[in-house]
Amino acid sequence: MDRRKFLKTGFQAAAFISIASVGGYLAHQTLNDELVWQIDPYKCTQCGRCADSCVLSQSAVKCVHVYKMCGYCDLCGGYFVPQAKELNTGAENQLCPTKALKRTFVEKPYYKYEIDEALCIGCAKCVKGCEAFGNGSLHLQVVQSICKNCNQCSIAKVCPSDAFVRVPTNKAYLLKSGWKG
């Protein structure tokens, strides 16, 4: 074997071993699942950036409603603008800029609030209101059927409260489970 060939084989072996060892090291702590982006609702500060920082023109972040936490209030902080003239579905009274939050009567004095996902733009205005005056049952989540799962989430990049986390697909949502005072 001449010198050149010996060197070449040596380099090849070295490259093979180093690639394999990096692979081995990474594989031993690998996750047998894919990671997706999600918002930790307890960290979210409702800054409103989710609405227009997503790479999609319609953000993958939308509001979800945890009905179990909802107080079904007549005067809903998430639905009505502060000092609303009347507590009805008049456009001037609504906080949501796209009328994505629907208010329906359940029984006196309770009202049900539903989100029309197609209309929601993830601006977090209702979330802020609900957090400030209500139970915080409205909160933002990354809708996994819309999210492109970018390697670097462009909203996570600008999130001021570090609320974006990578979660495994089998726990793809971080729905609120209770009121954190």
Partner 1 sequence: MIKAYKIAISFLIFLLFSALGFAQQRFPKPDFESGYVPPETQVPSANGVWMEYLDVFIFILLLSLFSYFILKKRSRKFVIWGGVFSVVYFGFFREGCVCSIGAIQNVALALYDSSFVLPLTVIVFFLLPLFFTLFFGRTFCAGVCMFGALQEVVIYKPVKISSWLQKALGAIPYLYLTFAILFAVTGADFIICKYDPFVGFFRFSTSPGMFAFGVGLLLLGMFVARPYCRFICPYGVLLSWVSQISVKHLTITPTDCIQCKLCEDACPVDAIAKPSENVKPESKGTRRLIFIFVLIPVFMLLFGFITSRFYEPLSMVHPQVRLAEEIALEKKINTKPASVEAVAFNSSGMNSAELFKLANEIRITFYRGSWIAGLFLGFIFGLALLQSSRFKRNTIYTPDKGSCVGCARCFRHCPVERKEG
User: Tokens at residue 99, please?
Assistant: 């009328």
Q: Which is nearer to partner 1, 34 or 90 (CB)?
A: 34
Least distance in Å: CB of 141 to partner 1? 7
Least distance in Å: CB of 165 to partner 1? 12
Residue-wise burial string across 162-171, b where 16 or more C-beta atoms lie within 10 A, e elsewhere? ebbeebeeee
Q: Cβ contacts of residue 37 below 8 Å, gap of 6+?
A: 142, 147, 149, 150, 153, 155, 156, 164, 165, 166, 167
The phi, psi pair for 20, rounded to 5°, reads -65, -40
Least distance in Å: CB of 133 to partner 1? 8
Tell the residue number behind the tokens 């609303």, with chain if given. 84
> Contact residues for partner 1 (CB under 8 A)?
8, 11-12, 15-16, 19, 22-23, 25-27, 29-36, 45, 47, 49, 55-57, 64-73, 106-107, 110, 134-135, 141, 143-145, 147-152, 154, 157, 160-161, 169, 172-173, 175, 177-181
Least distance in Å: CB of 91 to partner 1? 25
Q: Which is nearer to partner 1, 3 or 180 (CB)?
A: 180
